[in-house]
Amino acid sequence: MSDNPFELKPLGPGGVARETFRSATPSIRFSGKTTEDTATELQTNATTGLSSSQDILNRRSIHGINELSSEEDESLIMKFISSFYQDPLILLLIGSAIISFWMGNKDDAISITLAIVIVVTVGFVQEYRSEKSLAALNKLVPAEAKLTRNGNTSTVLASTLVPGDLVHFSQGDRIPADVRLTEAVYLTIDESNLTGENRPVKKSTTMINNGTSLADIPVNQRSCIAHMGTLVRDGHGSGIVIATGHKTVFGGVFEMMAEIEKPKTPLQQAMDKLGKDLSIFSFIVIGIICLVGIIQGREWLDMFQISVSLAVAAIPEGLPIIVTVTLALGVLRMARQKAIVRRLPSVETLGSVNVICSDKTGTLTQNHMTVTKIWSTDFKGSFNSPFLVVERLDDKTLHSKLTQNMHQILQCGSICNNARYSHENEKYVGNPSDIALVECLPHFGLDDFRGTRQRVYELPFSSARKYMAVCVHTGDMNKAETLAKGASEKIVRLSTKYLDENGQVKPITEEVKHIIHEKSKVLASDGLRVLAFAKSNQVITSSENDIHQETTEPSDMIFLGLVGMKDPPRPNVSKSIAMLMKGGVHVIMITGDSPSTAMNIAKQIGMPIVGDHAVMTGDQIDNLSEIALADAIHDVSVFARTTPEHKVTIVKALQRRGDIVAMTGDGVNDAPALKLADIGIAMGKNGTDVAKEAADMVLTDDDFSTILSAIEEGKGIFNNIQNFITFQLSTSIAALSLIAMATFFGLPNPLNAMQILWINILMDGPPAQSLGVEPVDHEVMNKPPRRRNDKILTQLVIKRVIQSAIMIILGTLFIFVKEMTDNEITARDTTMTFTCFVFFDMFNALACRHYSKSIFEMGLKNQMFNFAVIGSLIGQFCAIYVPFFQSIFQTEALYFSDIVTLLVLCSTVFIGDEVRKWLMRRKTVLTSYNYV
């Protein structure tokens, strides 16, 4: 049996899932129908798609949107009510209120009940916010589809599809719905998420007619159906949508999997463990406090209420929730900066990345190709250059320069091309190299040649072949020809002849081959992408019997010439690389281009090319063992002429050295490296769905500079988590220690149950949450990456917690003892102590905004923090000045002089932390000075 979690049951022959629970699904029905019958039944056109807007709206109203979403099982009201009985500590507080009411202490009962409602509400809002933030993450990478309606092709959200729509897909795409294929060119699809079998399934347009019941045909044998959620491994195709949303095969799987709970991130698990450890410690201390108090003769109900309230306040039960909210909100902020993090644990890893392996094309460069130079044999050159310099000539001059072989190069580039024109966007869409070849035709007075040819067969480009070929004819199959384009060394190897400027075919000699390679190197040294072109009268065919569709390779080809395309670096890449290097991150360029092209671009963007070993080729990687590569890779900045398989080798070698690696990729074959890397980064614009599925992060603008922003945000989030943990733990320890010390020294309790619960609301509520969304300090990039095994509770954090807690305890005890002069506890005594603790808490929160930077330098940019502190202070003033709240919290009004005294005293925790920061910065400066 397959270990695939999405597998359907019961199983059919060979362990493949069978949909016996739906014997008449669209997938089954339409697999037995021809494409013509499918189009007729769904009232659509297999070439132009649906055409009526009203018809499309009607279909959407019937079938719904093309999305898979689990329905809400429980209403918000029921969830809120369940919060009161899910937490044992809240149940204990409820029991305490009931006992108080039964014993006649109605004021206490009402106060505790109101406190319970407030505490539960704060916790519920936090949890609800966490769930909503996580739900928002699932919508950050919406599925897209290439759709043809009324003859116009455009890219749309997959959720807008309806049965009858005509969709297109190519290598790396995710199938957007269940589709009856109308075209399948070298098409193989990975259906492992449905069947558990990793072997790609070959697809065709032929209906299934094997004499057996269609219901008995398993998913992976429905060769004319492409199922929603599966991934195109090779080739391309088109088809008519037959089912959307929950009516698809994947929809049935989704319904079965909706109840499975997602695992927590490592950081959340660490917070859970920290919370449990603190809970155990707190329960022990609270139990001792309660026991000692009862032994001392105090009222057992008072001690019980104090103990339960202390447990609620001291135990940081909101810690994991605040961590989740902080991570989720950080991810949403990253999304606004064009970096979509697909998995929460990736946020934790971002701050540790010390090596970034980046693609050149589209990531470091703009991915907008422009044909700048063309070369063919016998060409005399222009502008003291041996090439036709396209960018320096006007259209009339270019037209006059068009020799026979130049014309053939442009014709080959046009026909051996998969770029499509989008009427909606009024531009070509597809591979940037293909677009550049088509866009340059009008400058030579030429039109797209594809309208004059009928394509018989296509051999798609692959990283292994490094070339693409198509077989076409003008109406007579006997006069069919094969056209190819690709890497110059591959095309030259397939060629036995070449075309001169007069259109004469001549045998290609070693001397001519040497000249071609030299010209290719010259183009590459200018930082251009070089493509070679050739044609042949041979017809390429494929074997229909093998899953990989073995194809006869073109041979005896006629070499036509070379084209150089410019793809300039992105504007901000140089600055980003400089900042990353300053922060201890090594940037490596990986490209399939030649070493000359790669080095030219690397120098333009400021990458250090030092020594003879700064550039390494794919052939050199093949000749090294993994251990030897790990030793040699230290000084390498550029890997050229690499394949996606080399990326895996490079990642393994870097990880062997102990590096935390981020790897970028966009193709199907990049998926293994993206999965293997600590942070896999896929391209959002030009990346395939396969790459996005394997990646941890998606760059929606394909810009390298966005990686810098993401790493900066990742480091900032981790610092924020440490800051609010410092605040929570220092408050928790101070509250626990305060009651413990008062009990052990035989003093009255300085805080009552209601006051302790209010402190809990401050500790777990808005002030703590606002520390989690502190704006990122750009200086984090000046610090080296965090080590993978670094604990969140470092020695420095613990020292900071202890320092703050001690100052709060001593200051609060000082006020308590000072006010309690007659050994009797009064409302004024507890009010002063209570307000002192709250003020200490607010100043402590202010100090916790940053670990090393002065608050005076930071300013008050965190609006959420400002509102949280102001709101908390207003709440505190209500507790001591509003009669209704005075009765609840057992407080009385304080004089203005009392407030001033408390503010001066409580600011010492803030001043003490500022002094610590100053000493820390001074030590850093002195260390740097001594090092220099």
> Quick one: what percent of the chain has pLDDT higher than 90?
22
Residue closest to 409 by CA, chosen among 384, 393, 388, 385: 388
Which of 535, 566, 597 is the last residue before a domain boundary?
A: 566
Residue 812 included in any domain: no
Determine the longest span between alpha carbons in the chain, in angstroms.
116
Residue 745 included in any domain: no
Residue 836 included in any domain: no
Residues 463-496 as b/e (b if ≥16 CB within 10 A, e otherwise) read eebbbbbbbbeeeeeeebbbbbbbbbbbbbebbe
pLDDT for position 893:
93
Q: List, for residues 852-863, the tens digit of each pLDDT value.
A: 888 888 888 888
Residue 221 included in any domain: yes
pLDDT for position 892:
92
Residue 234 included in any domain: yes
Give the number of domains in the chain.
Answer: 3
Range of the domain at 253: 15-258
562 and 596 assigned to the same domain: no
pLDDT-based confidence at residue 18 (cuts at 50, 70, 90): very low
Q: Are strands 370-375 and 388-389 parallel, antiparallel or unpaired?
A: antiparallel
450 and 560 assigned to the same domain: yes
Active site residue 696: no
Q: Is the pLDDT of residue 261 over 60?
A: no
State the CATH number of the domain containing residue 182.
2.70.150.10
- 406 to each of 483, 547, 767, how far by Cα in Å? 15, 39, 70
Indicate which residue of 108, 165, 173, 359 is catalytic.
359
SS3 709: helix
Which of 225, 241, 258 is the last residue before a domain boundary?
A: 258
Which of 566, 596, 623 is the last residue before a domain boundary?
A: 566
pLDDT for position 24:
66
Q: Quick one: three-class SS letters along 905-921?
A: HHHHHHHHHHHHHHHHH
Residues 862-883 as b/e (b if ≥16 CB within 10 A, e otherwise) read bebbeebbeebeebbeebbeee
pLDDT for position 671:
79
Q: Quick one: three-class SS letters along 530-593?
A: EEEEEEECCCCCECCCCCCCCECCCCCEEEEEEEEEECCECCCHHHHHHHHHHCCCEEEEECCC
Residue 838 included in any domain: no
Q: Rounded to 5 degrees, what are φ and ψ at 705?
A: -60, -25
pLDDT for position 560:
93
pLDDT-based confidence at residue 318 (cuts at 50, 70, 90): low
Q: Which two tokens stand for residue 201?
A: 């399934």
Q: Is the pLDDT of residue 52 over 80?
A: yes
Q: Which two tokens stand for residue 392?
A: 């320096």
Lowest mean pLDDT among 248-252, 455-459, 687-691, 701-705: 687-691
pTM of the model: 0.69
Q: List, for residues 152-174, the tens digit of each pLDDT value.
A: 888 888 889 999 999 999 887 88
Q: Is the pLDDT of residue 150 over 60?
A: yes
- 114 to each of 219, 492, 859, 891, how far by Cα in Å? 58, 83, 36, 16
Residues 331-364 as b/e (b if ≥16 CB within 10 A, e otherwise) read bebbbebbbbbbbbbbbbbbbbbbbbbbbbbbbb
163 and 196 assigned to the same domain: yes
pLDDT-based confidence at residue 75 (cuts at 50, 70, 90): low
Q: Is the pLDDT of residue 760 over 90?
A: no
Q: Is the pLDDT of residue 929 over 70?
A: no
Q: Is the pLDDT of residue 382 over 90?
A: no
Q: List, for residues 781-821, the tens digit of each pLDDT value.
A: 878 887 766 777 788 888 999 999 999 999 999 998 888 77
pLDDT for position 15:
36
State the CATH number of the domain containing residue 672.
3.40.50.1000
CA 870 to chain centre: 35
pLDDT-based confidence at residue 547 (cuts at 50, 70, 90): very low
State the CATH number of the domain containing residue 423.
3.40.1110.10
pLDDT for position 105:
58
Greatest mean pLDDT among 157-166, 205-214, 262-271, 544-553: 157-166
Residue 104 included in any domain: yes
Q: List, for residues 566-608, the tens digit of each pLDDT value.
A: 888 888 888 889 888 888 889 999 888 778 888 888 888 888 8
pLDDT for position 281:
72
Instruction: Report, as an integer, the average pLDDT of 535-548.
Output: 61
444 and 574 assigned to the same domain: no
Greatest mean pLDDT among 36-40, 188-192, 266-270, 673-677: 36-40
As a whole number, the mean pLDDT across the chain is 80
Q: List, for residues 407-429, the tens digit of each pLDDT value.
A: 899 999 999 998 888 776 678 88
Residue 668 included in any domain: yes
